[in-house]
Structure 1
Amino acid sequence: MKRVVVTGLGTVNPLGNDVTTFWNNIKAGKNAGQKITRFDASKFRSQVACQVQEFDPSGVLDRNEIKRTDLFTQYALVSAVQAMEDSNLDLTAIDPFDIGVIWGVGQGGMQTFESEVENYVNGDYTPRFNPFFIPKLLVNMAAGMISMKYGLQGINYTPVSACATGNTAIMDAFNYIRLGKAKVFVTGGSEAGITSASFGGFSAMKAMSTRNDDPQTASRPFDKERDGFVMGEGGAALILEEYEHAKARGAKIYAELVGAAMTADAYHMTSPHPEGLGAAKAMQLAIEEAGLTPKDVDYLNLHATSTPVGDIAELNAVQKVFGADSNLHVSSTKSMTGHLLGAAAAIEAIIAIKSINDNVVPATTNVTELDENIPADIRVVTNQSLEKEVKVAMSNAFGFGGHNATVVFKKYEG
């Protein structure tokens, strides 16, 4: 199996429209929660979200391209352009069939779908749909547009595993490179789900926080008073590269991707297994594939979304894998960014990588009192980031349908 390294990063998300701003805000414990401005949410139970601010895709797309793409594709393209520039890849020196795009999206063009259907229903029912209606809403269009932007002719598709999607995409790209089927992948995920129908659906499930009077503290994983997640949006891109290829061109290497695994709970449509059996197995398999032991892992970025059931189920899984005798610290950065759905794992992969680069474990913010059901031997970093040597960092992502996905990054040592 070939080695795989990370040579480029890019992001657009509620805490920053580039990696440096994003990471500095994560370390500082900034929170992106606010009252929704994208649409009138006054009639919904939940009225808060983490929205991308001051986003301008015109530096990447021309006016016609913007009209022909949904917001989730625009987030993908801007993130991918940042990552490609960061990687300093010379595309003239590599066969375009050796570079692929595996890009995760959970919902696709929700705003496009809503606006087109609304226009149809509110009109005279004459079928005057936009000719770009279907291309704009398709979940695979982000991957397609990234490939067209750069002429990348290798493996190209979009996996969907709900909120585990970002890690699923990263894992697939990792495996294709290891098998020698590509030298480079643009991978990650994007989502633009802050729309009236998408938001309303989650609100109707009573899955989201109703702390509408205090949006910045609404996302509070592990806190005794947590009452649901806060929706976020955005995208993040990683350039994964075969190690020898990266080394030969003198690439900057952020970290090595050493393990990844997926399992299924086979339990419930929307709830995790209460004992975290599937999640525990995914973590165990990813660690084993990396050639490591649980004692080698320094930091785990948890999926924990701030739901009463999900947070504890995940920590039960962590306890099964790591026990009391470990070097592990854990946190949930969704307390700051909100939950980016299909893009969540992509931005959290960047956080795991940057924690290795800077030897910093970011905090779970907004914790006033820890839930008494949290296992006592799990060290949750709360409210202030922790300076600590991080040689190995993991990131969990779980999705409706019982999907579990874990990735493991290691400090690059040549």
Structure 2
Amino acid sequence: MKRRVVITGLGPATALGIGKKDFFASIFGLKTCITEIPKSYEENYSFKSRYLVPKPKVSLTDLGLPKSVEGMMEEASKLFVLCTKLALEDAGLQVRPGEKYWQVEGLEECPTIIGIGMSSLQTAFDSYTAHIADSANPDAPRFNRMVIPMLMTNSPAAWISILFALKGFSYTLNASCASGSYAVGEAYRAIAQGRCNTIITGGVEVLAERTGAIMRGFDMMAALTKADDGRPQPFSQQRSGFLFNEGAGCALILEELNKARSRGADIYAEIVGFEGGSDAYSIVQMEPGGMKIQGLLEKVCQGIRIDYFNAHGTGTAANDAVESEVIQGFFGDKINQPYINSTKGILGHSIGASGALEAAVAAVSIKESRIHGNLTAEPLANLNLPLETISAPIKYALSASYGFGGHNAALLFKRYEDNE
């Protein structure tokens, strides 16, 4: 018999807010954090997209970790350490000083599965520049002797295990923009199948670097918004691309239901389904018509009526058109559709972190019976898109992510009732 899995802790860290309270105040308040690109980005290239969402500022020394430890981490690892500590505390699990760093009572064998898309690259860029520079030049950059462990995509998961003294299985999962959703889904399966009782999961991405080279890559693909104010406006006739988010992360604590009940944990929502699949079509484009995605939604929902759908909703012309077609093909006309929104319209697109953040939004929306509005003018026809934050009862919610390479994932959430 499949075991029941619930969400008991959330640890978002973004430019819109660090921690549950501030983050969700911004999300439900439709407050953005959009800044113009630095002038330094355009020394050798003129950007078509003029705005981004900055990464949040993180200091692990403020959390009590030695500066020497923080110095061995790239930005993605630092950010997810903060997310994990926030999520553990939100779940009512006490983080205490340990033999080396921290420990969490009762979680000595807790596993970790983290989604990440590209990982942080600043140290790699600096070390490459140092490697090819004239060594006699006193102004040459320094080659970082820790570049390899800092560059490893498994580093965020490894640091969580090391710093919180967790000896369960630990790994990073990569599925482009669906990485966060895949990580949460595989964590759900691990508990449902009896491999563990508690797991730390989520997603993180930090693509910030001093020259704007990573953002240029997306800009040259014409994937980024060209809007005068930077707003991507998903599912709008005015959309022109996604809003680049330099860095964000979110950790989630998942527990087996009886384990959560036994310690009196506050439960956000239950995860009742996860499916992943591939378009098998293109390295950067969604399959026209979205038939593979529609089949994925049919498989995860199994005839269940969905009240709320947190869509992928990037704001690109092609992807939103395909997703709109999928929504109408799967749910029917607007009158039969669930409420639909795109968190990326507020937060921007944080690649590997996006699915985890959207899972957290779905869980809180269920618990609080609130659905954030869409920052969208001239919405596409025949889509049930609330333009303001609304109150609505939600029994089932769906969250979907679609990544470069055709990686698709969908998570199904259910309202938790004490008497069930």
TM-score (norm 1): 0.91
Pairing partner for 2:73 from 69, 72, 85: 69
Structure 1 pair 385/157, CA: closer, same or farther in 2 (3 Å)?
A: same
CA distance in 2, matches of 1:37, 1:182: 46
Q: Does 1:346 align with 2:363?
A: no
Q: How far apart are residue 241 of structure 1 and its match?
A: 0.6
Q: Secondary structure at the match of 1:146?
A: helix
Pairing partner for 1:307 from 278, 301, 316: 316
Paired position in structure 1 for 2:88? 84
Paired position in structure 2 for 1:2? 3
Paired position in structure 1 for 2:371? 361
The Cα offsets for residues 70-115 of structure 1, whole Å up to 9 and x where unpaired, read as 1111111100100011112366653622x10001111112222222
What amino acid sits opposite 2:289 in the alignment?
E
Q: How far apart are residue 380 of structure 1 and its match?
A: 1.4
What amino acid sits opposite 2:326 in the alignment?
A
Paired position in structure 1 for 2:275? 261
Structure 1 pair 122/214, CA: closer, same or farther in 2 (3 Å)?
A: farther
Pairing partner for 1:190 from 196, 200, 204: 204
CA distance in 2, matches of 1:110, 1:47: 22
Paired position in structure 2 for 1:203? 219
Pairing partner for 2:62 from 59, 62, 66: 59
Pairing partner for 2:408 from 382, 404, 408: 404
Q: Does 1:393 align with 2:403?
A: no
Q: Does 1:111 align with 2:122?
A: yes
Q: Secondary structure at the match of 2:340?
A: strand
CA distance in 2, matches of 1:79, 1:123: 40
Q: How far apart are residue 361 of structure 1 and its match?
A: 1.1
What does 1:20-169 correspond to in 2, within 5 Å? 20-37=21-38, 40-41=41-42, 43-60=46-63, 61-89=65-93, 94=106, 96-97=108-109, 99-124=110-135, 129-169=143-183
CA distance in 2, matches of 1:283, 1:38: 43
Q: How far apart are residue 29 of structure 1 and its match?
A: 0.9
Give structure 2 stretches of 5+ with no counterpart.
Answer: 95-102
Q: How far apart are residue 54 of structure 1 and its match?
A: 4.3
Q: How far apart are residue 122 of structure 1 and its match?
A: 3.4
Q: Secondary structure at the match of 2:150?
A: helix
CA distance in 2, matches of 1:294, 1:328: 12
Q: State how many pairs are aligned.
A: 399
Q: Secondary structure at the match of 2:264?
A: coil
User: Contact conserved, 2:126 with 2:143, CA < 8 A, in 1?
Assistant: no
Q: Secondary structure at the match of 2:18?
A: coil
What does 1:181-260 correspond to in 2, within 5 Å? 181-195=195-209, 196-211=212-227, 213-215=228-230, 217=231, 219-232=232-245, 233-260=247-274
User: Contact conserved, 1:101 with 1:147, CA < 8 A, in 2?
Assistant: yes
User: Contact conserved, 1:360 with 1:386, CA < 8 A, in 2?
Assistant: yes
Structure 1 pair 264/92, CA: closer, same or farther in 2 (3 Å)?
A: closer
Paired position in structure 2 for 1:379? 384
CA distance in 1, matches of 2:77, 2:395: 34
The Cα offsets for residues 346-402 of structure 1, whole Å up to 9 and x where unpaired, read as 11111111111211111110x22123xx4x2x31122x1121111221111110000
CA distance in 2, matches of 1:255, 1:284: 21
Q: Secondary structure at the match of 1:40?
A: helix
What amino acid sits opposite 1:205 in the alignment?
M
Structure 1 pair 86/317, CA: closer, same or farther in 2 (3 Å)?
A: same
CA distance in 2, matches of 1:262, 1:331: 21
Q: Secondary structure at the match of 1:304?
A: coil
Paired position in structure 1 for 2:99? none
User: Contact conserved, 2:337 with 2:384, CA < 8 A, in 1?
Assistant: no
CA distance in 2, matches of 1:49, 1:72: 18
